[in-house]
Amino acid sequence: MIFRLRLIEKIDSRSIAQEILNRLLRGLRGNLQWAASVYRPMRHVVLVEDDALVRKLLEKRLMAAHWRVTSLRDGRALSAVLEQEPADLILIDLGLPHIDGLELVEQIRAQGIDTPVLVLTAYDMPHLEATVRSTGANALVQKPYDPEALMQRMERLVAA
């Protein structure tokens, strides 16, 4: 400790200040270049889920993964939401009140909305994936799901 202090006393304080300033400027330039190269606006997802707990958990996970989230508890307002602000992805639960997820997908496809749709379901029925895809949805994810796998699937759908 004493050795370090003596060594520091012998170094010219101006050269230290100049070196610190140079390193800060180099780092700032590098950080700005990096930020410009990786910047992408937040992606917008519309989440349609009737279960409040699942909806809140998904909302938090999506926001933590840097998604901007619009949440709906049923699909009645989906078209109006998409008219106001288009989404990069739509997550729809299959078992919704008032209008089920499959009808909702058919409805938005009939309106000419081509936003990727990922359907979430707790149902485990044969041929469910084919049925979901036939409505115009892009993918199906079974509950319970791995949150990281869901995020990766969402990113792939948006990138496609």
CATH number at residue 93: 3.40.50.2300
Of residues 96, 95, 117, the one with CA closest to residue 105:
117
* 20 shares a domain with 60: no
pTM attached to this predicted model: 0.73
7 Cβ partners below 8 Å, 6+ apart? none
Q: Which domain, by its residues, includes 77?
A: 43-159
Residue-wise DSSP of 12-55 = -HHHHHHHHHHHHHHHHHHHHHHHHHH--PPEEEEEE-S-HHHH
Task: For residue 5, name the pLDDT band (cuts at 50, 70, 90).
Answer: very low
- Do 28 and 74 lie in one domain? The reply is no
Same domain, yes or no, for 55 and 34?
Answer: no
18 shares a domain with 94: no
Q: What is the mean pLDDT of residues 76-86?
A: 93
Domain count, the chain: 2
* pLDDT of amino acid 81: 94
Q: Are 29 and 55 contained in the same domain?
A: no
pLDDT of res. 104: 95
